[in-house]
Chains A and B, each alone.
Chain A
Amino acid sequence: MKSYGYYPGCSVKSSSKSYEKSLLLVMKSVGAKLKEIDDWNCCGATAYFGTDEKMAKAIASRNLSLAEQQKMDDLIIPCTGCYLTLKKSQEHLKEHKDDNIRAALDEAGLKGGDKVALRHPIDVLYNDFGVEQIKSLVKKPLKGWKIASYYGCQLVRPYSDVDHPYYPHILDDLMVSCGAEAVDYPYKTRCCGGALTGTVEDVGLRLVYILLAEMRNRGANCVVTMCPLCHFNLDVYQSKVIKKFGDEYEKSFSKKFEPLPILHFTQVIGLAMGYKYSELGIKEVMVEPKALLKAI
């Protein structure tokens, strides 16, 4: 049993609970023990950086410092938004050993924070356990599942230490190890719109449309994400996108714009490992993969 620190972030505790549920099950199966940081706070996500960068970094760094105080060497962060915010803040701590942020942190009893390794679960599954181990745990290979793996921006950019910023493959590899077919398409790391679906909806929806249309046209019958915000945009806004762009799609491609099931990648791995639909929270996604389930 290898143990890891765990920083959940706000999303998996509210609208994306099924991501956390499935993540914990999959981690347990591979033999990873997750310990949640006691009293973690919101990372501030991207909005904070737009108003006061120093405050943003200080707030985010509190979590890093708590993790170290609670003796964590590796910290698993399932949301790529949180991942990038924490990573940026840690880079700052590494580069600035005696600035105002460091001093304010120390003063508030928050030492360190620059050493704990920040990891997305995909990185942990792929690099610490590996596709072979996942393969050995598969009980129900995902026959007939044609999966478009969507990586989004913030795990691979700007720090591309987990995978390539434009042509990543580790999520595809994991899906293949679960018996699914990986659908190749060029927009694996194209932006899902981030907060734009909420702030400038017309632009946000267009970005989601571009992704969904491409995934469909390349033959996908399912999409997996690895970030709660990406998932929210593709899953929750899909019906709006179809309403708005359905006709345009039909005109351009001479076929109907059918909705795709959008799942958290851990839900899909969990299914392959034999966990039940309900345990993985799949009922909580907007378009359930009912037809695909029959195949396994």
Chain B
Amino acid sequence: MEFARTVKYEAELNKSFYKEVVESSGCDKVLECIQCGTCSSTCPVSLYMDYTPRKLMAMIKAGFEEDALKSKTVWICSSCYSCTVMCPSQIKITDVMYALKRMAIEKGYYPKSMPTPVLAKEMNNIISKRGRNSEMYVASMMVLKTNPFGMFKMAPVGLALFKKRRLHIGMEKIKNTKQIKKLLSGLKKREAK
């Protein structure tokens, strides 16, 4: 029988983790969380989360970096802003969730079976290149890259849309794609400085 420690020692925490979260989310009130739990109770998906929003806030404050970034919570958050509107400490919890998503992608921590990062990446690709998005293309890429058998599950939806003439296969493109390229590369250059 193996016995594993179930708690973390202080030395294993990243005490300045909250600073990174503040920096990335633009929300400087993270430390003001009073652990009231309003966010978790108003959240429509907290019952599917491994850590509820309240717990996650406590983890950020205490420096549980790895646990927070590996959590499924941020991928289930649907960005409904209910928590943000209700929080008595005016913490922009939704923006914190977005920040944790970005940090998890950067550090390679996101769960591989989660299609959300793939979806985001595909959308970014298309939009940077064409300026427009194609729902069908993004949806198919997402399914193919994360779970090819999911195609069968998608088929009835596709068929129903097709019957109603709502399946739009074509890909739009804006005229001035050069401008978008210039905008993004300009931003990248400045950010790198």
Contact = CB atoms under 8 A, between A and B. Distances in A.
Nearest to B123: A47
Interface stretch (B6-14, B53-61, B164-172): B164-172
B81 A154 contact: yes
A225 interface: no
A191 B82 contact: yes
Given A59-B183, A198-B142, A286-B164, A191 B119 contact: no
Nearest to A165: B85
Q: Which one of B117, B172, B187 has the greatest number of beta carbons of chain A within 10 Å?
A: B187
B36 interface: no
B160 A196 contact: no
Interface stretch (A8-16, A169-177, A260-268): A8-16
Contact of B82 (A17, A100, A157): A157
B144 interface: no
A210 B47 CA distance: 14
B2 interface: no
A153 B82 contact: yes
Nearest to B169: A14
B41 interface: no
B94 A200 contact: no
Q: Which one of A47, A59, A198 has the greatest number of beta carbons of chain B within 10 Å?
A: A47
Interface stretch (A23-31, A107-115, A133-141, A270-278): A107-115
A202 B179 CA distance: 40
14 contacts: A41-B174, A53-B102, A54-B191, A58-B183, A58-B187, A59-B128, A108-B179, A191-B80, A194-B79, A195-B78, A196-B76, A200-B115, A236-B160, A240-B156
Interface of A: 10-11, 13-17, 39-42, 44-55, 58-59, 62, 100-101, 103-105, 107-110, 153-154, 157-158, 160, 165, 190-191, 193-196, 198-201, 203, 207, 210, 236-237, 239-240, 283-286
Given A236-B161, A283-B164, 6 more contacts: A10-B172, A41-B132, A42-B132, A50-B105, A51-B121, A198-B142
